[in-house]
Structure 1
Amino acid sequence: MQVSTMDAIEILGTISFAISGSFAAMQRRLDPFGVLIIAFVTSIGGGTVRDLLLGDTPVAWMRDVNYCLLILLTSIATIFFKTHIKKFKVTLFLFDSLGLGLFTMLGIQKGIVFGLSPGICIALGTITGCFGGIIRDTLLNTIPVIFRKEVYATVCIMGGILYFSLLYFNLKEDLAKVAVIGFIFTVRVVVVRYKVTLPRFGY
């Protein structure tokens, strides 16, 4: 069976966010059931919000049980290999950054399928990329990354603008997708590595 580029992106995104959620849960010393729940909401949270906004129901993971099986298997594998991975925080960050790029592209493509304007497609990409992490952090009693000074949602918006710009200049669609995913991942890693932050407002 031939796997399309978007199918591959969806599979990789689901795996990345499932690993991200699992490591976040293990950092907080949750039991295996808690790890599975956090992995699940991290993986499907953004897509669920997106599909509800679009009225595309039942949402994707309810129509295809393979999503749930993939998250389950990924969570079990992550728990099994946790003893071989010392730097939980680094692993969580890298997979979260990869998932951010992959799911942002998924959200943009879903908006395009529905015939929406580029601006709305970028908003849907940002929602798809960010909301799983928001739900994860909220359940773990942590201030979500998107509400802190780190560059998170901003890089999704930048990636979306880059995607439509590349299409405007006639770059092949599949190459544009890969370029944007790589851009979001790289920028996220660089800004965290060099502590580039957005200004804070308040008293």
Structure 2
Amino acid sequence: SVFVTTRLINKQRSISLNALQVADAFGLAFFAVMGAQKAMLAGMPDTTAIIMGVITGCFGGVIRDVLAGNMPMLLKGELYAITCIAGGIVYTLSISLGLVTEMAMVLAMLMTLSLRLAAMKWHLTLHVFKYPD
């Protein structure tokens, strides 16, 4: 009975995989845009800012998955880094067009988040090149 009770308690405390992926999508959107913003504040060109946003957004998730002993979500096939690229492009374009920084950040985060959530819901992937046998 102690084993059954412990198992029920652990089952109630566990967080669903979907909830973790949604939380990861929010973190991905936030850190991708923050990385791009910091690079632009340092005077980097737009392309470098986008790349830094991708690295900043993806690296935290990779570290988390490696430390947890899981395969990184970045390598699973669904859109992940591409969503950071799209968010970085929206951010840099918004700043170039003269939008207020906060509005540019919100638009870029929404772009990254909506693409990542869509990829999770509809299992959106990019075509992977394979050599013919």
How would you bin the TM-score normalised by the shorter chain? 0.7 to 0.9
> Which residue of structure 1 lines up, in the alignment, with residue 114 of structure 2?
186
| Offset of residue 86 of structure 1 | 6.0
Under a length normalisation based on structure 1, what TM-score does the superposition of the two structures give? Answer: 0.55
In structure 1, how many angstroms separate the alpha carbons of the residues matched to 2:29 and 2:74? 14
Task: Indicate the SS of the match to 1:115.
Answer: coil
2-structure distance, mates of 1:136, 1:87: 16
Residue in 2 that maps onto 1:169: 97
Name structure 1 gaps, 5 residues minimum.
1-81
The CA deviation string for residues 36-93 of structure 1, in whole angstroms up to 9 with x for no partner, is xxxxxxxxxxxxxxxxxxxxxxxxxxxxxxxxxxxxxxxxxxxxxx876665211101
For 1:102 and 1:85, how far apart are their aligned partners in 2? 26
RMSD: 1.9
**Taking structure 2 as the reference length, what is the TM-score of the superposition?**
0.81
Q: Please list, as runs of the form range in 1=range in 2, the aligned pairs for 1:1-203 lying within 5 A after superposition.
A: 87-202=15-130
- Tell me which amino acid in the other structure corresponds to 2:73: V
Change (3 A) 1:201 1:148: farther
Unaligned runs of 5+ in 2: 1-9
Contact 1:100 1:129 in 2 (8 A): yes
Structure 2 letter corresponding to 1:104: A
Between the aligned residues of both structures, percent identity stands at: 33
Count of matched residue positions in the alignment of Structure 1 and Structure 2: 122
Alpha-carbon separation, structure 1, partners of 2:56 and 2:15: 27
Work out whether residues 100 and 156 of structure 1, in 8 Å CA contact, stay in contact via their aligned partners in 2. yes
Greater gyration radius: 2
**Cα deviation code 1:145-172 (max 9, x no counterpart):** 1122110001101111111112222222
What is the distance in 2 between the residues matched to 1:95 and 1:179?
18
Q: Which residue of 2 aligns with 1:7?
A: none
